[in-house]
Structure formats: C-alpha cells, structure tokens
Chains A and B, each alone.
Chain A
C-alpha cells in the first residue's frame, strides 16, 4: 500500500535520481513489474504497441488493432489486441511463481514451479489464433453491451509451452472430469480480493488437445505482461477468454466450471436464434465454444487510390475456430460474383491461413473489396451481420475495404 502510493507519486525519472542509476533500479524490480505510476500515461509505450492501435478502455485496459496492422503472418506484440476484464497484476515474479492443479476431479492437489514444469515436461510451439468472443460487437443493432470492438481483437502469435494434457495427466484425472477452470493473478475492478475478474475454462476434450498449451513464451520471448506473463493458457480457435492470463491455478472440475464470466450473458449466446433485442432467459443461453469462420484483408489499408489499369494485390488471413478454411474468395461487386483467392494451408492446426489475390478493376470508380472465407464444413461468412445476441458475440460478417480507381 505504502509502496504503491510511493510508486504512484514518483515518476521513473525521480526514482532514478533517487537511486542514482537506472540499472540499479531495474534490478531491484521483480520481473515484469509495472510501477503503478506508469499505468496512466502512454499505453503504446507501456505495452510496446503500435501507435495506430485503438484504445477502447483504459480501466481496465482494452486495446484493439486495425486491419492493416495485422499483415504479419505471425502477429507481433506491437499489433496484438489487449483484452482485460480486471486490472493487470503487479509484482509478478516468475522465479517464485507456482502453478497448482486441484479440483474435484484431480487425483491429488499438486503444485509446480515454472522451473519444475520446464524440467519435467516437453515444450511445444504452435501458432494459435486467439480472437475475442466480442470481436465485431460494435456492429450489432440494437447495440450490445461491452467494449465496442470493431475488427481488431484477433491475433495469431507463436506460443511456446507445455501441453496442458501432460500436466493434468501427471496430476491424475479422475474419470468424472468434465471441465477445467483457470484461476489467475489479475485484480477485480472493485479491488475486492475475494472476487476474480474472470475465471473461465474449457471442456476436457479441448483441455486435452495437443495444441492446448500452458505457455511461457510468445514469439520466442517471455510473454509480455499484458498478455499473461509468466504463464498463460492458450486454447486456439476458441473465444480468447478461455486462454486465461497470469495463470496460477487450474481446477479439474466434475461440473461445467462455474467461475466468474462462465454464466449469465458472458461468453454465452442464445441456444436458439432470437430476434434483435429479444430478452433471453438464462437457461436458454449456451457457452461459446469454437469460433466461427472469418477473414480479414490486411493489405492494403482501406482507402487505397489506384490509377486506372493498375491491378491491386490484396493479402490477408482467414481462420475458422477448430476447422480449416477451405475456400477464400473476394468480390468487387457487393457479392454479385465471387473470385477465388490463393489460400495457404495452416502451419499447424488452429493457426490462421494466409490468402492473396490480384484484382483488376473494369473501369474507374468507387469499389469495395469484400472477402469471404468458407470453412471445411462448407459454412461461409455472411455479408450481413449474423444473429443478434445480448452481448454481441460472434460477428463474423465479411470484412471489406474501400478502393478508388482514378
């Protein structure tokens, strides 16, 4: 408390003046410690984000990308969206960190330090698509409650860590296990220590997949603080809220996990379609699992002006939750005709796929390039908004960019 206040009052510069040197100060700080005084001013510097990222909320921090910032095949930290339900934890110390596995369906309660995890379990690296369940919420009508994400709450970074399955099996899974639920070090907005900002999870089948990791690295480095240092659950293809950050405990449950934001309207949609704005009873809401097929044109940035006769090379990514993307198309006449794009196979399951196309325009004028992905089951993205739901999840409507030929 005193220390917090002190950090709040003192800027890093005056701290350095006090201590005489930046290095001494940095060494005295625990790993990835973020002095509170620095939580205010410049989120781009604070989280090492591209200046064109858009801050939706600063308490808690929620920041999204724009489509053209996401052109990299592997999303760098600078363009990765931040979605927080609570306050980013402080004083994180990887060397003292423990992961505890417990729960009704755990054969025993067992704890591991990160060092123990590293020496005991093999590590795996996958590129995994993480999309916020509410990505695209801003388009719903009537408006849906929550951060008004447009298109930028999506990333596909390279995650390195242990298979959750290996750890759970080391502890022992009882036959009645149905779900895992995570617990983490973040702080509830009300600052009530008895409340968790979010504690979600996944059914055992998802928890035991090869690609479901307990990661300690993102893109080959320690996970950035805002993305879950030092341990993050990564469950690609599912709402990113399943991929809990700052994980210190995982419970093997004999019921569907009932932690914070598992019930009510949170990350749940009507089991049956409803009219826009309709009230939905609690028992008629179902938990979101695999995310729907979707794509994004990441090059060029919307608003490109070309000369008559020039062709346009578009690039982007497509993803489909648990499924592969089978087909990628574009249209320059609002869906009247569609043309195939070249699309690559995913580098591993649950990674997004890269597409490209060369587009020729028949004459001068205003165009919109619309992109449409189709998943392995033959389900395509809608051009209009998909079914309304109270919290505005799962908007996978086609992305489009404006182009002018002069």
Chain B
C-alpha cells in the first residue's frame, strides 16, 4: 500500500534525523563533560565533593588576599585554609572575631561535636593567624549608624 510505503519513508527520515541528533548530543555531551572536568582539576585528597571549582592556581594571592577563600595573606594562611575551610566556608571564619582563648574553645567545640580532627602544632599557628588578622573590635553598648547611603526621598 502506498500509505504504508509513505509511512516507512517518513519513519526512515525521522530515524536518520534521530540518529544524527543523538550522535551530536552524545559527542557534545562527552566533550563538555571532559572539558568541564579538566577545567576543574583533580578533586581534593579528602574526597570533598562540594569543591565547586578550582582555580588554575588554587592558592593565588591578589592584593594580599587569598582569592579562593578571601583570607588575608599572612603567616598561618595555609594552615588555616587547609584545616578551616573543609566543612564550612571561610566566610564563617572571617565574620567571627574572638580572642585566642575563645578560638581555642571554639576549636574544642568543633572537635567534640563537629568532627574536626586534632590540629596538633597547627592549632597555635591558626589561632595566632586569626587573632592577628581578624582581631575583635570594641563596639561598646551600641554603635553609631555607619556607611549611610543618602538618597532623596520623593514625597
């Protein structure tokens, strides 16, 4: 039947198109997969799966700042990066201002409840780095309003 023939003819066309599309998709998919993987570098030794990207140079310093974490470049930086950014973001460290005693207590708390490993000699290096570069500031009972962004309020 001519209807039947037409059906098969159309189907062949569709199949051919499908094969071409599938091949293209597969090839581009594989390419993208590998390109992305290469761009990301090797996963971290501890198997962290949440490292989203790796710079070509993971410890690049720009204007005195460790680019990947935002930490100030100073003695103790590497120990701090290696031990304090695996579970949580460096943002959590930077926004906290404590003296040495309270940092040590915080480290104990993380070891007791949060699976932080023993830091050994690095503990003093890290705490020195934190209290030197992120010292507590006196705020008193109430600070003044700062960084005011003045704008004209239309009535």
Interface residues of A (CB under 8 A from B): 1, 4-6, 8-11, 14, 17-20, 36-37, 39-40, 55-60, 87, 139-143, 145-148, 188-192, 195, 260, 264-265, 300-307, 310, 312, 368, 383-385, 397, 400-402, 404
Contact = CB atoms under 8 A, between A and B. Distances in A.
B152 interface: yes
A158 to B, nearest CB: 30
Given A11-B36, A17-B28, A192-B115, 18 more contacts: A1-B49, A4-B49, A8-B40, A8-B49, A9-B36, A9-B37, A14-B29, A14-B33, A18-B29, A39-B52, A57-B91, A145-B96, A145-B106, A188-B114, A305-B153, A307-B155, A384-B141, A384-B142
A143 B97 CA distance: 6
A139 B143 contact: yes
Given A17-B32, A145-B102, A301 B151 contact: yes
A20 B28 contact: no
Given A5-B49, A57-B88, A20 B25 contact: yes
6 contacts: A17-B28, A56-B95, A60-B89, A147-B95, A383-B142, A397-B142
Contact of B36 (A10, A39, A303): A10
B136 interface: yes
Q: Ordered nearest first, which 7 A-B pairs have the shortest CB separation?
A: A190-B115, A40-B52, A304-B153, A18-B29, A59-B89, A14-B32, A141-B139
Given A19-B25, A39-B52, A145-B96, A190 B114 contact: yes
B98 interface: yes
Nearest to A9: B36
Contacts of A58: 89, 91
A274 B58 CA distance: 45
B88 A300 contact: no
A164 B33 CA distance: 46
A197 to B, nearest CB: 9
A143 B98 contact: yes
What does DSSP make chain B's interface, helix, strand, loop or mixed?
loop
A146 B96 contact: yes
B34 to A, nearest CB: 9
A213 B35 CA distance: 48
A90 to B, nearest CB: 11
A305 B150 contact: yes
Contacts of A189: 87-88, 114
B48 to A, nearest CB: 8
A139 B142 contact: yes
Contact of B151 (A40, A305, A310): A305
A127 B129 CA distance: 46
B21 interface: yes
Which of A36, A145, A301, A385 has the most C-beta atoms of chain B within 10 angstroms of its own C-beta? A145
A1 B36 CA distance: 17
Contacts of A142: 98-99, 102, 136
Contacts of B53: 40
Contacts of B137: 143
Contacts of B91: 55-59
B8 interface: no
